[in-house]
Amino acid sequence: MKLFVYHTPELTPTDHLPDCAVVIDVLRATTTIATALHAGAEAVQAFDDIEKLMQVSENWSASLRLRAGERGGAKVSGCDMGNSPLESTPEKVKGRRLFLSTTNGTRALQRVEKSQAVVSAALVNTRSCVRYLLEKQPETVWLVGSGWQGSYSLEDTTCAGAIAHSLGRESGQSEEEIIGNDEVIGAVALYTHWQDKLLEMLHQSSHGKRLLGLNAHEDLRYCAQTDTLDVLPIQKEPGVLASPAFKPSNF
């Protein structure tokens, strides 16, 4: 297994794809996706465009769909909900499909959707992601941060570092074998610096500050938790993520 970290979708190569892409948007899209699937959502379908989301979701019965839209951290008007993971309660999402469009996370998913395998990760489910990669042993893995409108996000690269750090320790491979680019080394260093103060890291990050300005303190607290959800969102068709029952051999 060879790991590559890309800080943003814009920095990912466009002339080839990995065997497995891991899309990361700690604040908050991939935390919300993991939470919704853990709470029993049928699937999460991601869109970079709100108009398209409205069009496609129109074909679903209103009782089986939820439209979730976020721009600039705030809920998009006309949607049932925004992008707070705290909104994805079992009462609300169980058995329904979440149609989701966010500023950066859903765009990152779209960027790598043609990869052989696509999964999403956040701090809340890094362990599930690591277990999947250790079992599947894809030859090339891209850890893709969503960033913010083309700029690097501290929290996404820290999460990429958490995954790379675990894989480095558990894969049995040498550093030379597993490290695909310098960004992996940077991401691991970032994670080891912040690992015991992840909430503080979110408070210092630029998107964390933006969300705090929108009173999303509880969201930051929730997103800073590690390995609280035993769930792995896996793309089953382009843009649609679902979660098989969690048993490593079911992946």
CB-based contact 85:35 (threshold 8 Å): yes
Give the pair of three-digit tokens for residue 150: 């083309």
What is the contact mask toward ligand MLT in residues 23 to 42, using x (rule: CB under 6 A)?
--x-xxx-------------
CB of 97 to ligand MLT, least distance (A): 18
102 binds ligand MLT (CB under 6 A): yes
Specify the residue, 100 or 187, whose C-beta has the smaller distance to ligand MLT: 100
Specify the residue, 83 or 115, whose C-beta has the smaller distance to ligand MLT: 83
CB of 162 to ligand MLT, least distance (A): 18
CB-based contact 138:117 (threshold 8 Å): yes
What is the contact mask toward ligand MLT in residues 115 to 154, using x (rule: CB under 6 A)?
-------------------------------x--------
Applying CB under 6 A, which part among 20-28, 125-133, 137-145, 178-186 lies near ligand MLT?
A: 20-28
CB of 185 to ligand MLT, least distance (A): 26
Q: Binding to ligand MLT (CB under 6 A): which residues in 147-206? A: none
Q: Binding to ligand MLT (CB under 6 A): which residues in 50-89? A: 70, 73, 83
Give the pair of three-digit tokens for residue 103: 């500023």
On the CB side of 202, how many CA atoms lie within 13 Å of its CA?
23
149-186-139 Cα angle (round to 5) = 90
**Cβ-count burial 4-39 (b if 16+ within 10 Å, e if not):** bbbbbbeebeeeebbbbbbbbbbbbbbbbbbbbbbb
105 binds ligand MLT (CB under 6 A): yes
Hey, CA dihedral for 56, 90, 243, 69, is it positive or negative? positive
